[in-house]
């Protein structure tokens, strides 16, 4: 998949191992790098497992439309579809097989 970033600061943390370790600690920085490699290697979002360890899933409530993968509990890597238009299925949910571009928006504890 193609990966974009909401901010330059977030891009720097995600693409620079030393910056990630400084901001997130070595354990979470390692998990962040693994998740980004998984996302980059996938041809579409459907290729990412919804089961642990990544547990890719769509969020709801005030984060409706965002998706996440687990990092170091309770933190998650949050992203949205960057496809234009956003691919949806008939029931209105996201069509994971058609999402080939994402935008990383945040690393956060969503609980």
pTM exceeds 0.85 for this model: yes
The domain tally of the chain equals 1
- Supply 1's token pair: 């998949």
Q: DSSP character for 46?
A: G
CATH code, 37: 3.30.2310.20
75-81 vs 67-70, strand pairing mode: antiparallel
- What tens digit of pLDDT does each residue of 14-68 get? 999 999 999 999 999 999 999 999 999 999 999 998 878 889 999 999 998 999 9
**Which domain range does residue 73 map to?**
2-109
Bridge partners of 81, per DSSP, are 102
User: For residue 92, what pLDDT band results from cuts at 50, 70 and 90?
Assistant: confident
Mean pLDDT value across the chain: 94
């Amino acid at each position: 998949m193609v990966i974009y970033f909401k901010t330059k600061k977030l891009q720097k943390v995600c693409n620079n191992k030393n910056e990630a370790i400084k901001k997130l600690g070595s354990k979470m920085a390692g998990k962040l790098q693994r998740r980004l490699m998984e996302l980059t290697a996938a041809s579409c979002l459907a290729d990412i497992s919804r089961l642990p360890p990544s547990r890719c899933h769509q969020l709801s409530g005030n984060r409706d439309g965002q998706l996440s993968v687990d990092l170091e509990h309770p933190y998650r890597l949050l992203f949205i579809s960057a496809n234009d238009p956003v691919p949806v299925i008939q029931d209105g949910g996201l069509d994971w097989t058609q999402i080939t571009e994402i935008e990383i928006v945040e690393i956060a504890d969503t609980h």
